[in-house]
Structure 1
Amino acid sequence: MTSTLPAVTAATVPAQSPAVPDRQPAGAPAPPQRLRSSRPDLLLCGALLVAILVVQGWNIADFPTLSDDEGTYLAQAWAVQQGKGLAHYTYWYDHPPLGWIQIALLTWIPSVLDPGSMTVGTMRAVMLPVAAVSAVLVYVLSRRLALPRWAAGLAMVLFGLSPLSVVLQREIFLDNLAVMWVLLAFGLAASPSRHLWHHFGAGLAAATAVLTKETMLLVLPALFVTMWRHSHRDTRKFALTGAVTACALIGFSYPLFALLKGELLPGGGHVSLWDGITYQMTRPGSGFVLDAGSGSNGVLRSWLYYDRVLPLGGLAGALLLLVTWRWSVTARALAGPALAVAILAALALRPNGYLPAMYVIQALPFLALVLAGGTASVAHAVLRRRRGPDEKRQRTGGRYALAAVLTLAAGAYVVPRWYDGDRTAVTADAGAPYRAASTWLATEVEDPEDTRVLVDDALWLDLVHAGYRPGLGVIWFYKADLDPAVTRTLPHGWKDLDYVVASPTVRRDARDLPTVRAAMEHSAPVATFGAGEDRIEIRRVRPATAGGVR
């Protein structure tokens, strides 16, 4: 980035407009050099990126434990690769398919080289380039929002090395892909060049983020604020109109897709986008996030278990910036990210909203930005040199000493907690029960091709590679009750099944699924892996109808 904003070209400014940029506010730091031409920025960003990739990549297949959502997205990507449509079962309008289409592209070469590697643990490696791009974009955005180099580095560290980030960014979640696209949109919106194509590109990137995970709609107002602040006043209406138009045209492709398939509105014999929207809007809530014992409170506690610094510090930073935006240049520069944190926090505080565990992923980059920005704002207030009598200058040493003490205190609090959390991520083996269950089903069942087994999606692809028939032999357990195409193949219900793999997800949700619940009640464990709530039981259904154990 250049040290000063370049002149706007004649092609982008009305004839009467002066070809000069807006003046920087008094006291504002000069915009930094472009990353590609700033050696210090390149060295710092590169060094931090290596550290982030090492920590996030080490032991990625074994921690955290595999989740059903990861398996679902990967199985849907596999279906796209195999030309079986948009999903491995009947596609219904839950999330837009662009997210797992991207996963299909990321995993295409590895799956061609080794089809058996198309499993959740192995394919988590494809999330590393996504995390790398997102981390670099956090640094670039920090610099474009006029944060000093050390604060940009701090934002990158907070985003990439927080134990909460390490755990969630490893997992094959659509949210991680959507965050990458929304960061690109913010980076283009804050471009110091202020070219119109940057704003059009921001609109396209924003639409891609929303079509990857629709909840990214929540941060679009914050993107609009960033674009407003960083567009040239003489071309602002063109820039914003172009960005909104680009975003809307691409975004409306999803309902157009449903309309062309005759699936926009409910009807007999087909799924519909309207039903999907209705389900999302009316699904049972998980309680108030601050009510002890509620599902939402459990999710919050799980986030704070991994890291308290980034979520709580980020909220405090956002509050500081929103309160001081009139007087602080840094606060005005970070108005967009601070607004994003405020919107996401407000939605999480709904009295009876639904709060999924991956919800915080979309807030992580903005929490990191506002925490680093708030720190920079405080540091600037403490350390700035004021011209005046000599006695005022003598206070500078005291300010630096105070800053050093505060830095050491913060490090003493944060480093041990992050060290323990990241050490667990790079050493623990939470995937062992799943691997053992997969191996048992691949080696101990006599005739996998004629065996019918209910599993969660974390194991679905493992068993497909082991020879079980996809969709009919190995069955994603939800579909045994919820997909008519599958229930028709089970005329006798649970009696047509041979095994149930009772993972924590299956045990939790079986009470709402009659066929799965009956299969659990009429089965007995033949192998158990792990212990406690995380155990995985392989249960033989009685009477068995096919297959057998050697």
Structure 2
Amino acid sequence: MAVRAWGIGNYPFPNDDEGTYLAQAWAVQHGELAHYTYWYDHPPFGWMQLAGVSWLPSWLLPDLPTLTQGRIAMLPVAAAACVLTYVVGRRVGLVRPAAAAAMLLYALSPLAVVLHRQIYLDNFALVWALAAFAFALSPRRHLWHHVGAGACFALAMLSKETIGVLLPVLLVALWQGSHRSTRKFSLAGFGSGFLLTGLFYPLYALLKGELVPGAGHVSLLGSLKFQLGGREGSGSAFETGTDAHQLFADWLTRDPYLLVGGGAAAVLALAVRRLWPVALAVLMLVLVALRPGGYLPQMYVIQALPFLAICLAGTAQAVVARLPGKPHVRAVAAVAAALTAVAIAGPHWYDQDRTIAATDDNRVYRDAAHWLRDTSVGDRSKVRIVTDGVLWLDAVDAGYRPGTGVIWHYKLDQDPAVTKTLPHGWRDIDYVVSTPALRGERTNLPTLGALLAHGTPVATFGEGDGRIEILKIGGDA
């Protein structure tokens, strides 16, 4: 946890999704599901949890940028995932040292460290999914544990729906974790917990009259259709130049040892029956990631990391256990395997984790947040300013009017509730906080492009493509 916490507000560079989820958590704290029209882009339970854990950092450390406050709030989520990795390792037959090794492999992997720092719904979903596996594999085989497994996995999907690909694997774990004579009750209990918990989401949409598409309103099924087939694919991971290929390359640069070693161990783990659930989880997630033409998000790998670590530790334990000789010989072999792993991966992990802890990529965002809070621009309740998702909540905290006073740049051309307040288009805006994420959308959003073309810099933070500029709108370019 110290590795995750050191410099947590400085690295990595913010992803606009982080600001979006923070703003949606702020909306939950104020009695809404989203800071603009909730259009069922994801189930809301993820940012409901974020709302529950983010109030303490914002109360204790009010002077920090909201991004840093939100990342601090992710630390207990990361801690829970590490503990549950140990528990699941024990439930699939790992001895205590092997389960602890799996937890350390997961906890110290540079890929896990950097992704756990970020405010992603996948981190919440993973905790619930690991809890579901822990319940399903409980050695007590209690019916209520299997009901709990179903409820936990429903909460995982209500945190981030993409983790639903693990449902078949969880059923395999439940089959292993239940007794033959009572298995039908276990399956029925699991199904009850899963359905009764998961159906709250479509029931909400139904009661709102927003389950199916229709004129003048958003809908759950319409958004699901967009998520499944309306998004541009990431291409093939095997084709150079595609987004998927670049994403795999970035993951492997961070940590080739856990990804490649864990993937190979997952294949070998299929020979060990108790390891089937974690091995199948890895293989299922890899197959989905490698499917051609699908959309592959940056944070997708979060779901696979603990299962990769357990596969590595479990396979090593299985190999050592099959060595001939007395117990002390196997103990020496286990220590030798651990030292070999440290010698191979340790230097790379140390360099990567040190870079994560010591690098400061986010000074420009901190400076922009301070500008929003400290610079006088007149009556902030009447000033209209456009920001990206990351700085939206900083502007709200600084006193700008949420929604149509401080405007998330995506909403300029896509939300009728916003566009109807802009009868003169870009001329109705006073300032734009021009960030890399915002400039990247200028060709897709005509009003945003016009704003950037008619803005005059009044403050600039940083240089090059990573700079942030405060643009005052008016006149010609």
Deviation at 1:504, TM superposition (A): 1.8
Task: Report the counterpart of residue 158 of structure 2 in structure 1.
Answer: 211
Structure 2: runs of 5+ lacking an equivalent: none
Shift of 1:300: 1.4
Residues matched between the structures, number: 474
Pick the structure with greater CA Rg: 1
Confirm or deny: 8 A CA contact 1:182 1:205 kept in the other structure.
Answer: yes
State TM-score, norm by structure 2: 0.94
> What residue number does 1:536 align with?
468
What percentage of residue pairs aligned between the two structures are identical?
Answer: 52
Aligned residue in 1 for 2:341:
410
Q: Does 1:353 align with 2:294?
A: yes
Residue in 2 that maps onto 1:58: 6
Deviation (angstroms), 1:289: 1.5
The one-character-per-residue Cα deviations of 1:57-116 (angstroms, maximum 9, x if unpaired) are: 121122212221111111111111122x10111111100111111111112344456666
Structure 2 residue identity aligned to 1:188: F
User: Which string of whole-angstrom CA distances, capped at 9 and with x for unpartnered residues, describes residues 283-319 of structure 1?
Assistant: 1111111221111122112212211111111111111
- Provide the TM-score with structure 1 as the length reference: 0.82
496-505 vs 519-528, greater mean Cα deviation = 519-528
Alignment correspondent of 1:339: 280
Is the Cα contact below 8 Å between 1:117 and 1:123 reproduced in 2? no
- Equivalent residue in structure 2 for 1:496, among 425, 428, 445: 428
- For 1:231 and 1:70, locate their aligned partners in 2 and report how far apart those are by CA, in whole Å: 39
Q: In the alignment, which of 342, 363, 366 is matched to residue 304 of structure 2?
A: 363
Preserved contact between residue 15 and residue 390 of structure 2 (Cα < 8 Å):
yes
Q: Say if 2:61 and 2:69, in contact at 8 Å, map to a contact too.
A: no
Q: CA offset at residue 406 of structure 1?
A: 5.0
Q: Distance in 2 between matches of 1:247 and 1:403?
A: 40
| Mapping for residues 155-194 of structure 1, pairs under 5 Å | 155-194=102-141
Residue 222 of structure 1, CA deviation: 1.0
1:365: Cα distance to partner? Answer: 1.2
**CA 1:248–1:110 in 2, change beyond 3 Å: closer, same or farther?**
same
Aligned position for 1:26: none
Secondary structure at the counterpart of residue 165 of structure 1: helix
**Which residue identity does 1:461 align to in structure 2?**
L
1:526 has 2:474 as partner: no
Residue 467 of structure 1 deviates from its aligned partner by: 1.5
Matched, 1:304 2:252: yes
Amino acid at match of 2:325: R
Residue 70 of structure 1 aligns with which residue?
A: 18
Letter in 2 for 1:60: I
Who is 1:375 aligned against? 316
RMSD: 2.0
Q: CA deviation at 1:499?
A: 2.3
User: Which stretch shows the higher mean deviation, 217-226 or 501-510?
Assistant: 501-510
SS in structure 2 at match of 1:450: coil
Are the counterparts in 2 of residues 66 and 121 from structure 1 also a CA contact under 8 Å?
Answer: no
Cα distance in structure 1, aligned partners of 2:239 and 2:464: 26
CA drift of 1:479 comes to 0.5
Out of 202-211 and 528-537, give the one that drifted further: 528-537
Partner of 1:273: 220
How big is the shift at 1:123?
A: 2.5
1:457 maps onto 2:396 in alignment: no
Give the distance between the partners of 1:262 and 1:81, measured in 2 at CA: 24
Contact 1:453/1:498 (8 A) holds in 2: yes
Residue equivalent to 1:46: none
Any residues of structure 2 matched to 1:116-155 within 5 Å, and which? Answer: 119-155=66-102
Deviation for aligned residue 1:485: 0.2
Q: Is the 8 A contact 1:68 1:457 kept in 2?
A: yes
User: Would the alpha carbon gap of residues 376 and 402 (structure 1) be closer, same or farther in structure 2, given more than 3 Å must change?
Assistant: closer
Which of 437, 442, 449 is 2:368 aligned to? Answer: 437
Unpaired runs of 5+ residues, structure 1, are 1-52, 326-330, 387-392, 545-550
Distance of 1:142 and 1:402 partners within structure 2: 20
